[in-house]
């Protein structure tokens, strides 16, 4: 005989600290290491060439990562002359700060 038990209130939350076994790696697990790094670098605002240099990839690859983050509404990009400037959206800022590395 099986008796189904309904989950209690807050069943989806883990005990305090259980979700972040290694601080800061949850964001990398969610987005992938390069996209997490991309989000962190964009926090201060940068153009695509700076982004590529900071995360160690080619400009086309950096542009692709930025496009995915933009489609997810984590960053916003505006064109300034012949460059595209990337900044975090409030959603991106919230995600980044929620999963900030703890030293």
Q: What is the pTM of this model?
A: 0.71
Residue 43 lies in a domain: no
Residue 9 lies in a domain: no
Residue 22 lies in a domain: no
Residue 3 lies in a domain: no
* Torsion angles phi and psi, residue 13, rounded to 5: -90, 140
Range of the domain at 53: 48-103
84, containing H or E segment:
strand 83-88
Residue 52 lies in a domain: yes
Number of domains in the chain: 1
37, containing H or E segment:
helix 33-42
Digitized pLDDT (tens) for each residue of the chain, 103 residues in all: 666 666 666 555 555 544 444 555 788 888 889 999 999 999 989 999 999 999 999 999 999 999 999 999 999 999 988 889 999 999 999 998 886 654 3
CA distance 86 to 46: 6
């Amino acid at each position: 005989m099986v008796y189904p038990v309904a989950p209690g209130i807050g069943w989806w939350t883990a005990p305090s600290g259980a979700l972040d076994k290694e601080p800061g790696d949850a964001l990398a697990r969610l987005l992938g290491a390069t996209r997490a790094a991309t989000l962190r670098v964009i926090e201060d605002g940068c153009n695509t060439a700076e982004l590529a240099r900071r995360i160690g990839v080619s400009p086309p690859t950096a542009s692709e990562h930025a496009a995915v983050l933009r489609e997810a509404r984590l960053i916003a990009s505006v064109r300034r002359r012949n460059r595209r400037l990337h900044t975090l959206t409030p959603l991106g800022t919230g995600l980044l700060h929620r999963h900030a590395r703890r030293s």
